[in-house]
Structure 1
Amino acid sequence: MQIAVTTPTGNVGRHLVAALLRAGIRPRVLLRDPARLAPEVQDHVDAVPVDQYDADAVVAAAVGVDALYWVNPTTGSEDPLADCARATGSVTRAVTENRIGRVVFQSSVGAEKRHGAGEIDGLAHTETALDDLDIDVTHLRCGYFFTNLELQLAALRAGVLQVVLSLDQPMAWVAPRDIAEVAATHLLSPAWSGRRVQAVHGPADLTWRQVGGILTAATGRKISVEQITDDAMRAQLRRAGMPDATVEAMLGMSTGLRENFVPEQRRTIRTTTPTTLAAWAYDRLRPRIDDAS
């Protein structure tokens, strides 16, 4: 069985590659620069240099693949939704022209809205495009990645995180490694078929107020969270150099899920994964915050 993995050095991809290796699989990994693979991995995978936005290149890279793990890549460009559309074109062509029978797609909670959730709308577009193909496909609708906190190290060191969501609105938080384990089981399991959605919710829904308390305990630093206005967040993102389309795509991932949104997939034993934010923050976030102290 030939399994291909995109973004194999990403937060989920690197754990997925490791899981497949432990299962005895030699995966094909598709990425721009194979030199970015961890040295201990390079001799155990078949690396193909490819730009996921180049549909011809993706088609060529996926010849002979039986199952594909697809992630729409993030580039930080001026139009992330257009990028998602280009990536969608690449994966649908690769699947169709190579007759790939099984796809596991890394999506997000909120994609079920289809419109009005910022950059998540791009994932919704990919979901519907894959659903239109005559293949077995599972969409992993993931919660909020723990690793998003690593993008806010300066704020964490300063002791204040700023968000636009209500501090008391619960949402799913998940460790990327847990997503990788769910992805690996779906790529390897013959027990499913057709079009499926598998939510990956982490161990518990958390509010931002609870997150502040968890991070304080795990890092040994007082970390508070405050709600700011949408316009204040827009101003912050623009000061960081983001163009307007990117700002709105980023902001929409929060504002689109802020009011009257109920996830299509409710939390069950099937969607709940084990790694807690407290454990992850102690092991991963605390050392990174302390490094620059």
Structure 2
Amino acid sequence: MIVVTAPTGKIGRQVLDRLMAAGAPTRVIARDPARLPAAVHAYAEVVVGTHRDLDVVTKAFAGARTVFWLVPSDPRSSSVEAAYVGFSRPACEAIVAQGVERVVGVSALGRGTAVAGNAGYVTASLAMDDLIASTGVNYRALAMPSFMDNLLRQIELIRNRSMFTSPISGDHKAPSCATRDIAAVAAGLLLDDTWSGVEEVPVLGPEDLSFEDMARIMSEVLGRPIRFERLSGEAFRSGLVEGGMSEAMAQGMLDMALAKDAGLDNGAVRTSRASTPTTFRQWCEDVLKPAVLA
């Protein structure tokens, strides 16, 4: 039995699709089961609730050998540590109590870099990895850079003003990956019962690009000029707070961006295993362009 958390999110939904296609026995944890497609209800066991609740994860992990672990976004959290480490503590207790053998978790690049200790969300993600590994479970932390799909958060800005923004330098080249490739790597590990130990698995996409590179590719795919604009750190943080994010989480997002600008995502060695197939141009054709035209 494989347990999938966050099955209605971008990554979890695609992981679940792959497990169903492979015919793997699957159980999902869902706060709102109505958001699950009918095909999921017909195929998978559904445990209702949040996976930050000990009773829920205890029930879901009973008899399970493998867990896909993804901490959902919590923009109103009191701290990044509470959002990642605190959220994961009940699951770690249940992993031990229920004898789970393997966990595949969504995490981040940056371990061992000079800026990893003050990288906001990434620092908390790495602490979460350490917590999960401390249970003794076999663990694979998917170590990701920024997601291409995060640009969809700025879809109205791209559609209406032909621009996108970030506090990261426009000429800073770094890896980025598509969520569909993350799901493919995760599903492959979930379906493989031969691995053991604790290891990070970088998911780097096929190329390093700057935001200026991305603007050029977006312009070519969309057939109109798209420009990148760098925001000041304060403008970025203030915009997040005005949008409803807590001060702590907004600061964590800014700290992560500043760490990325200082090379947080540039330390991983690009190998054939770490280089996933979806190029930014292909993602723009398949995902961004339809979203802009919708």
SS at match of 2:118: coil
Q: In 2, distance between residues paired with 1:4 and 1:262?
A: 29
- Separation of aligned partners in 1, 2:263 and 2:215: 24
> What is the CA RMSD across the aligned residues, in angstroms?
1.6
- For the 8 Å contact 1:50–1:61, the answer to whether it is kept is no
CA shift for structure 1 position 51: 1.0
8 A contact 1:80–1:119 mirrored in 2: no
With structure 1 as the length reference, what TM-score do the two structures score? 0.94
Show structure 2 runs of 5+ residues with no match: none
Post-superposition Cα deviations, 1:179-209, rounded to whole Å, max 9, x if no partner, equal 1110111111133210111000111111111
User: What are the Cα deviations for residues 85-141 of structure 1, in whole angstroms up to 9, with x where unaligned?
Assistant: 222202211211111011101101235555211112221111111121222111000
- Contact kept, 8 Å, 2:75 with 2:246, in 1: the verdict is no
Alignment of 1:35-46 (within 5 A): 35-46=34-45
Which amino acid is 1:164 matched to? P
> How many angstroms does 1:260 deviate by?
4.6
Q: Which runs of 4+ in 1 moved over 3 A?
A: 111-114, 260-264
Q: Tell me the TM-score normalised to structure 2 length.
A: 0.93
Counterparts of 1:78-93 in structure 2 under 5 Å? 78-81=77-80, 82-93=82-93
Q: Which residue of 1 aligns with 2:270?
A: 267
In structure 2, do the counterparts of structure 1 residues 78 and 129 end up closer, same or farther at CA, with 3 Å as the change threshold?
Answer: closer
Identity of aligned residues (%): 30
Deviations 1:241-268 (A, max 9, x none): 3231121011122112222546443111
1:280, distance to aligned residue in structure 2 (A): 1.7
Query: In 2, are the aligned partners of 1:119 and 1:249 still within 8 Å (CA)?
Result: yes
Residue in structure 2 matched with residue 97 of structure 1 by the alignment: 97
- AA aligned to 1:169 is H
Q: Is the 8 A contact 2:109 2:264 kept in 1?
A: no
Which SS does the other structure have where 1:12 is aligned? helix
Deviation at 1:287, TM superposition (A): 2.0
Can you give the 5+ residue segments of structure 1 that lack an aligned partner in the other structure?
none
Q: For this pair of structures, how many residues does the alignment match?
A: 290
- Describe how 1:1-293 pairs up with structure 2 within 5 A: 2-81=1-80, 82-112=82-112, 114-157=116-159, 158-261=161-264, 263-291=266-294
Cα deviations by residue, 1:219-249 (Å, 9 ceiling, x for unpaired): 2231100222212212322332323112101
